[in-house]
Amino acid sequence: MSSYSGIQEVQPARKSSGDTKWITPGKYELEITRVGDGKVDQGAGSPYFVVEFEVVTARDSQYEIGDSITWMTKRNKYAQYFLQDVQNFICAATKSTPSEVTQDVVETCTGEAQPLVGERVNADAYNKVMESSGKEFTVVSFRSLRD
């Protein structure tokens, strides 16, 4: 039997960039399937933080239950916003306070062990237009699920 027997039955572990479904406006309950980080442009560009989810519930959204969607934030010239986005997500996913979110915590969450996989968060997403450029982008606010 070949080592590759069954390859047609598995789901791809990573999507190509053209297949990525980015989070769009709506209200969601999401289950975390992967948390990662890296640098854009094959490691030569800005750092990014990315989370992949499965949609558990969705309202006012183009996505349906079971869809896989992605949220990403990049560290550009305004590092503060990148760090606030990451901190907000980690607080929601771990039910922790901002003072508990350290560099070590974030690195653990993005590491090989993937401790947040299977956790669920609420997300409210809406579009906003930058006043300076007129460019539209999606703002996502994450909240922990109430036990």
Residue-wise pLDDT tens digits, 76-125: 888 899 999 999 999 999 999 999 999 999 999 999 999 999 999 999 99
pTM (2 decimals)?
Answer: 0.83
Q: Is the pLDDT of residue 15 over 60?
A: no
* Residue matched to tokens 């006043």: 131
Q: Which ranges of 20-117 would DSSP assign to H, the alpha helix?
A: 79-94, 103-110
Please report, as a single letter, which amino acid is at residue 85: D
Picking from 17, 8, 78, 27, the residue whose alpha carbon sits closest to that of residue 50 is 17
How far apart are the C-alpha atoms of 40 and 24, rounded to whole Å?
21
94: left (phi over 0), alpha (psi -120 to 50) or beta: alpha
Please report, as a single letter, which amino acid is at residue 43: G
Q: Is the pLDDT of residue 28 over 80?
A: yes
Q: Is the pLDDT of residue 10 over 70?
A: no
List Cβ neighbours of 19 (8 Å cut-off, separation of 6 or more).
none
The rounded Cα 77 to chain-centroid distance in angstroms is 20
Residue-wise pLDDT tens digits, 40-90: 876 668 899 999 999 999 999 999 999 999 999 999 888 899 999 999 999
